[in-house]
């Protein structure tokens, strides 16, 4: 119609619905298929997937090696399941909300995912799960629809994902129209490359901790955590340095010429240690078998796990609080970033690193950490004889940070609103625990959307506005973006445009949607001005 002159590009862009793009970017269920939907959960990550039921990440990985497709069915997932999630076609969990681990990782991977399907009860011992009167055995086929939240018995025909040339053209028009930047959240070169192909203009959030979970890294990470003094901690970090550097080399190459925002270590250290109950069970086993050599080792780990235990880890010893108490961790990470950047710059590449300090709430947390970061960056650049134009900024993810954003801005080259954490603290909601009452709240009309899925404009949005206004009162051109899960959600993208953010950052598969919605926001605002004049 645009080619025929019937409508203009703006009208064309306006007519495409975000939901449609989302559907086109993932395999979907044949609308004509006869389905036996046995349960419903939350539609946590779009697309449909078919596979044989497995109950452990290891099983998913083993089956994938044999070329078998699986659906990973878990009570809930944890960082240790990431390999299995990647190997499976889709993930189904009994617990968790729209920003539970499974949901966030699923969307990040573009992996269909249904979470919080409370009707399911898993009996791993017998290798079955039960749901609403049906019993499904290990290796039985099921199909899940992560766009609808449905769980279906058996193997359903799927229709493949495809971006048509028409859609590609419309997205290029959207790029011409929009003023809001679109970046991606990516932690590895493959995701970064995929996102770039889908139109991302840089990385808005590279979570460095995901790199710590690799099978080859976790022993060094644990050695670092178990270290009893700075010296042995530094020794363990030295082992991690080349691996972290390798990660950054790959990511920088994928994003050559574009900004890459890297968040320094954020989660509490206990996330990298084994679970206490598992360790206790192991200890009892060893004690029964009388294996005295290993008993002491396990006891030592248990002691460390206990000493790191927190009642509310989300509000605990994490983010820049770690960076300040163990500066050698951030030192290693900054060295890895800058060594990688310098080496690629020497090869003639343009590398644009943006180092981001998480969980800042007090000005001095940022000023002290920033000073350390810059010192290490200058040291590495001097060693390599290269000058890189790097930036140091911060997340605004605590109400206190927004409230004192004028002071924080003086120490920051950019702001990135971490709307997941900001939603948690503004509401006093734990994203891992809300699934117990959010559905009841929605039914009772107390809240319309899950605030972890759709940004809460009335509360969280107001706090963001305070942060933006105060930040720009000091630095009018301060670059600001959003890197929470909301960066890929249409209503939230529109809000990000309205409050004057420079960019949104979202998972790779949501980049095309963000491009479209950003353009639609520009058009809508233009039309509003027109209708007023």
Is residue 421 part of the contact set for a second copy (CB under 8 A)?
yes
The only residue of 223, 432, 469, 524 in contact with a second copy, by rule CB under 8 A: 432
Nearest approach, Cβ of residue 37 and a second copy (Å): 25
Residue 46, number of CB atoms within 10 A of its CB = 24
Q: What is the spatial distance between Cα 358 and Cα 329, in angstroms, rounded to a whole number?
A: 14
Q: Which CB atom, from 8 or from 296, has the smaller least distance to a second copy?
A: 296
Q: What is the spatial distance between Cα 364 and Cα 357, in angstroms, rounded to a whole number?
A: 12
The only residue of 293, 428, 477, 529 in contact with a second copy, by rule CB under 8 A: 428
**DSSP label at 73?**
E
3-state SS of 4-71?
CCCCCHHHHHHHCCHHHHHHHCCCEECCCCCCCEEEECEEEECCEEEEEEECCHHHHHHHHHCCCCEE
Orientation of helix 511-532 relative to helix 490-498, angle to 10°: 50
The only residue of 338, 359, 396, 412 in contact with a second copy, by rule CB under 8 A: 359
Residues whose CB is less than 8 angstroms from the CB of residue 9 and which lie 6 or more positions away in sequence, other chains included: 2, 173, 176, 177
Q: Which CB atom, from 18 or from 356, has the smaller least distance to a second copy?
A: 356
Is residue 458 part of the contact set for a second copy (CB under 8 A)?
yes
Q: What is the spatial distance between Cα 311 and Cα 314, in angstroms, rounded to a whole number?
A: 9
- Strand arrangement, sheet containing 120-123: 120-123, 128-131, 134-137
Residues 316-345 touching a second copy, rule: CB under 8 A, are 316-317, 321, 324-325
Q: What is the spatial distance between Cα 164 and Cα 200, in angstroms, rounded to a whole number?
A: 18
Nearest approach, Cβ of residue 478 and a second copy (Å): 20
Q: Are 154 and 142 in contact (CB under 8 A)?
A: yes
Nearest approach, Cβ of residue 287 and a second copy (Å): 13
Helix (H, G, I), strand (E, B) or coil at 361: coil
Is residue 314 part of the contact set for a second copy (CB under 8 A)?
yes
Is residue 140 part of the contact set for a second copy (CB under 8 A)?
no
The only residue of 375, 400, 526, 528 in contact with a second copy, by rule CB under 8 A: 400
Residue 483 falls in the annotated catalytic set = yes
The only residue of 11, 430, 442, 473 in contact with a second copy, by rule CB under 8 A: 430
Tell me how many residues contact a second copy (CB under 8 A).
Answer: 49
Q: Are 10 and 520 in contact (CB under 8 A)?
A: no
The only residue of 424, 505, 507, 521 in contact with a second copy, by rule CB under 8 A: 424
Q: Among 26, 101, 270, 486, which one carries the catalytic annotation? A: 101
Closest CA to 423 of 9, 184, 104, 155: 104
Using CA atoms in the order 71, 75, 80, 82, what is the torsion angle rounded to 10 degrees?
30
Is residue 440 part of the contact set for a second copy (CB under 8 A)?
yes
Is residue 463 part of the contact set for a second copy (CB under 8 A)?
yes
Nearest approach, Cβ of residue 327 and a second copy (Å): 10
Q: Which stretch binds a second copy (CB under 8 A): 7-15, 31-39, 44-52, 427-435?
A: 427-435
3-state SS of 110-127?
CCCEEECCCCEEEECCCC
Is residue 365 part of the contact set for a second copy (CB under 8 A)?
yes
Q: Among 483, 486, 494, 506, which one carries the catalytic annotation? A: 483
Nearest approach, Cβ of residue 280 and a second copy (Å): 8
Is residue 58 part of the contact set for a second copy (CB under 8 A)?
no
532 CB burial (10 A radius; 0-12, 13-18, 19+): exposed
Q: Which CB atom, from 163 or from 324, has the smaller least distance to a second copy?
A: 324
The only residue of 285, 446, 500, 528 in contact with a second copy, by rule CB under 8 A: 446
Q: Which stretch binds a second copy (CB under 8 A): 143-151, 160-168, 216-224, 307-315?
A: 307-315
The only residue of 19, 219, 437, 473 in contact with a second copy, by rule CB under 8 A: 437
Is residue 496 part of the contact set for a second copy (CB under 8 A)?
no
Q: What is the spatial distance between Cα 285 and Cα 289, in angstroms, rounded to a whole number?
A: 6
Q: Are 492 and 454 in contact (CB under 8 A)?
A: yes
Residue 206 falls in the annotated catalytic set = no
Residues 219-278 touching a second copy, rule: CB under 8 A, are 277
Nearest approach, Cβ of residue 366 and a second copy (Å): 10
Closest CA to 32 of 156, 162, 153: 156
Residue 330: which H helix or E strand, with range? helix 327-346
Q: Which CB atom, from 400 or from 526, has the smaller least distance to a second copy?
A: 400
| Residues making contact with a second copy (CB under 8 A) | 277, 280, 310-317, 321, 324-325, 359, 361-362, 364-365, 368, 397-400, 403-404, 421, 424-430, 432-433, 436-437, 440-441, 444-447, 456, 458-460, 462-463
Please list the active-site residues.
101, 483
């Amino acid at each position: 119609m645009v080619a025929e002159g019937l409508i203009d590009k703006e009208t064309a862009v306006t007519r495409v619905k975000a939901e449609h793009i989302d559907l086109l970017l993932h395999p979907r269920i044949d609308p004509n298929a006869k389905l036996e939907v046995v349960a419903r959960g939350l539609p946590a990550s779009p697309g449909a997937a078919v596979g044989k039921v497995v109950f452990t990440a290891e099983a998913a990985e083993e089956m994938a090696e044999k070329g078998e497709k699986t659906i990973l069915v878990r009570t809930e997932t944890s960082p240790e399941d990431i390999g299995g999630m990647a190997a499976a076609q889709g993930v189904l969990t009994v617990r968790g909300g729209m920003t539970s681990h499974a949901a966030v990782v699923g969307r990040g991977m573009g992996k269909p995912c249904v979470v919080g399907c409370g009707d399911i009860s898993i009996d791993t011992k017998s290798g079955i799960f039960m749901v609403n009167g049906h019993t499904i055995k290990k290796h039985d086929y099921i199909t899940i629809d992560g766009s609808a939240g449905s769980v279906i018995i058996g193997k359903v025909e799927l229709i493949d994902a495809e971006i048509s040339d028409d859609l590609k053209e419309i997205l290029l028009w959207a790029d011409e129209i929009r003023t809001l930047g679109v970046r991606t959240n990516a932690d590895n070169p493959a995701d970064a490359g995929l996102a770039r192909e889908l139109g991302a203009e840089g990385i808005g959030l590279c979570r460095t901790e995901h790199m710590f979970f690799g099978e080859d890294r976790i022993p060094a990470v644990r050695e670092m955590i178990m270290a009893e003094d700075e010296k042995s901690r530094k020794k363990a970090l030295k082992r991690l340095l080349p691996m972290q550097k390798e990660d950054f080399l790959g990511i920088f190459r994928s994003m050559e010429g574009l900004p890459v925002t890297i968040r320094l270590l954020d989660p509490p250290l206990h996330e990298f240690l084994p679970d206490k109950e598992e360790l206790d069970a192991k200890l009892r086993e060893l004690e029964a078998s009388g294996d005295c050599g290993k008993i002491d080792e396990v006891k030592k780990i248990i002691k460390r796990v206990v000493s790191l235990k927190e009642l509310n880890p989300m509000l605990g010893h994490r983010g820049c609080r770690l960076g300040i108490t163990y500066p050698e961790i951030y030192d290693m990470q900054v060295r890895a970033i800058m060594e990688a950047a310098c080496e690629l710059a020497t090869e003639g590449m343009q590398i644009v690193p943006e180092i981001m300090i998480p969980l800042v709430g007090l000005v001095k947390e940022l000023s002290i950490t920033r000073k350390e970061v810059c010192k290490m960056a200058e040291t590495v650049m001097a060693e390599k004889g290269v000058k890189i134009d790097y930036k140091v900024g911060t997340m605004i993810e605590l109400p206190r940070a927004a409230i004192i954003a004028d002071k924080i801005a003086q120490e920051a080259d950019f702001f990135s609103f971490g709307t997941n954490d900001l939603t948690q603290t503004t509401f006093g909601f734990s994203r891992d625990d809300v699934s117990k009452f959010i559905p009841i709240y929605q039914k009772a009309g107390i809240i319309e959307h899950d605030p972890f899925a759709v940004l809460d404009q009335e509360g969280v949005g107001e706090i963001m506005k305070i942060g933006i206004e105060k930040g720009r009162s000091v630095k009018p051109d301060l670059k600001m973006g959003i890197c929470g899960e909301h960066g890929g959600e249409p209503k939230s993208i529109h809000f990000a445009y309205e409050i004057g953010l420079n960019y949104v950052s979202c998972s790779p598969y949501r980049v095309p949607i963000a491009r479209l919605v950003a353009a639609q926001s520009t058009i809508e605002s233009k039309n509003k001005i027109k209708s007023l004049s």
